[in-house]
Structure 1
Amino acid sequence: MQRFPPLTHGDITLRALAKRDFRVLRKLLIADREWLIPWEATTPGIRYPLDVRWMIRSLMSQAKKGAGLALVMEHEGKVVGQLNVANILFGSVSSATIGYWIAKNSAGKSIVPICVAIAIDHLFTEFGLHRVEIDIRPENTASLRVVQKLGLRQEGTKERFIHIDGHWRDHNIFAITSEEIKGSLLSRVQNTGGQ
């Protein structure tokens, strides 16, 4: 299992998910259902209630096996969303995939781009990974702004890639390799003023 120490930039912290985060995550996920549903993965043919305990257990299990990282984003000491690293592979592939969500009232404050930059920098420097990918629905303009701010390159489209809200949805592929970063990815966000 890979350890992930709390990483802080100003009033933003990215840290490991803990069981104690259950209540606040449940509250945020329930309060922002309409905001999040268009982007959340679903299982074809199954409608099930939100099970935050199962989600936390599943993410922590993946992290324990070394296949992922389950993280929370904090702003001014309060949990405002999650950032998860999945499909961590070492060796000849040395890559991972990042996904995230943020509470509606915390969106637009550069929290997500800063946390994604911190995570990618850590994956490259501490884990020794070579490539990180983020897959985004073409309609998700807020997430598209994140990868644009960070300078991730678009590689193509995965057609009918993930089942979301009752349909198989296309996702654009964005990626970056360690050779593409001079210094740190966080410095890119700082140089754009987080805008």
Structure 2
Amino acid sequence: MHRNRHRSLALAACAAVAALTGSLLSTTRADAAATPATPAAPSAVSWAAPLSTSGRWIIDADGRRFKLRSANWAGAQGTWNGSGDIADPANHHSGENANGMPLGLDRASLPSILAGFHAVGVNSIRLPFSNEMVHASAPVPDTAVAANPELRGKTPLQVFDAVVAALTADGFAVVLNNHTGTTRWCCGLDGNERWNTSRGTTD
């Protein structure tokens, strides 16, 4: 009896695998038939703006399929944890104060950061930011842009704009992510957890 039960389970498992394999193969054939005839753009610098969609595909201005290979460059959305002295890095996520701009500009030049993105094969960069950063009028500290002296005296938004300009000039697509209302680490019960809290409106 146990032998028959095991045999039945084995047959059922084989049937399930066969059905799944057939489903995957038919999906693969359907996908292949739906794939645009033009080849995919292979690197960050070989696509033509603007991007658009065609059915399920993202395509560039020349009709080539554009596959997003993205990296996330955090910082401009805020790093402060919400308690303690905002100037103390210990009160920021991972102990790093981003000063309302993409992290790392104190340690590496923009060209070297972009070269690193190219080296790992990404073609697009996600840049999260906060609404508060857009309105901040005080310049970032010189120490926050120590490796990029040309950014001294700029507001966080001006630094953000310079980063976007450098990325696009170097061939990267940029995905802007309006991540938070306030420039602090998201999310708890701080009003950043949803779009329709007291910190935001539906307008």
Query: Could you tell me the TM-score, scaled by structure 2's length?
Result: 0.27
Q: Which has the higher strand share?
A: 1
Which protein is bigger by CA-based radius of gyration?
A: 2
Query: Could you tell me the TM-score, scaled by structure 1's length?
Result: 0.27
